A = this chain, B = another copy of it.
Amino acid sequence: MKIDIIGKGNVGTHLATALKDAADVASVSSRTLEGLRKGSDIYLISVADDAIADVASQVATHIPSQAILAHTSGSTPLNAISGIHNLTGVFYPLQTFSKNVSLDYADIPFFIEGCDSHTHDILCEAARLVSPSVYSADSEKRRDLHVASVLSCNFVNHLWALASGYLSEKDLPFDALKPLIRETTRKIQTASPLDVQTGPAARHDLKTIEAHMERLNGKQELKEIYRLLTLSIIRTDDNRHNRNKI
């Protein structure tokens, strides 16, 4: 399979690496289209969401009509590019990619959408070159997965960044939290996060919560995050207990 990947950001770079052993891959600059080949099977657009339509339009003028043009965005619908070329789709890898951080590509779930079943099937075939976890998802489902990903990955990482910054100011090592973080992740591989919630909020330990809030005086944003998530845990817990009583 000949696959051109347009875009050399985090996603494009990693997809190229993931596919290069199993397919004939070209990495193409999204600015200049340098490296774009004429007769490839699939053209993957891996650029910022608001650049997808533009870059796709430019690429479409160079490619054969039977080639597939797909983007890799979780939150952009198929219809952003479906008017640009006759065979379009979405090839969405549900993973967090950072430059210079290698990872196990075979572990990545791919969510595929195609303008028709032929396109869908070809994109699934390409995804299966990387990973056995290949699913279908339309734009709506993909948007929902992307929202959940922002919660589960981006916001989670940010909480660790906040913790790291907080400890750094107190001359305490963030390293001390790593076993805790690993265990927090490990638990939910097999248990529902709802069943393994721990901490002062889950215990309705108002005394500790107040003491923490006081410690955060002067750190308005962090205090507000603490307050909001604490309330959310308490409400989630209350809702579960009320449901169990019914």
Contacts and interface: CB of A to CB of B under 8 A. Distances in A.
A21 to B, nearest CB: 20
Contact of A235 (B96, B195, B202, B221): B221
A179 interface: yes
A22 interface: no
B153 A181 contact: yes
Interface in A191-246: 191-203, 205, 207-208, 211-212, 215-216, 221, 224-226, 228-229, 231-233, 235-236
Interface residues of A: mostly helix, strand, loop or mixed? Answer: helix
Contacts of A95: 179-180, 183
12 contacts: A75-B200, A75-B211, A107-B179, A144-B166, A148-B166, A155-B199, A155-B229, A156-B184, A157-B193, A161-B193, A161-B197, A225-B232
A124 to B, nearest CB: 16
A196 B155 contact: no
Interface string A72-96: 0001100000000000000000111
Contacts of A147: 166, 212, 215-216, 226
B94 A212 contact: no
Interface residues of A, number: 92
Given A95-B183, A145-B176, A228-B228, A208 B75 contact: yes
A128 interface: no
A38 interface: no
A154 interface: yes
Contacts of A232: 158, 162, 221, 225
A118 interface: no
A31 interface: no
A151 B163 contact: yes
Given A98-B198, A198-B98, A145 B167 contact: yes
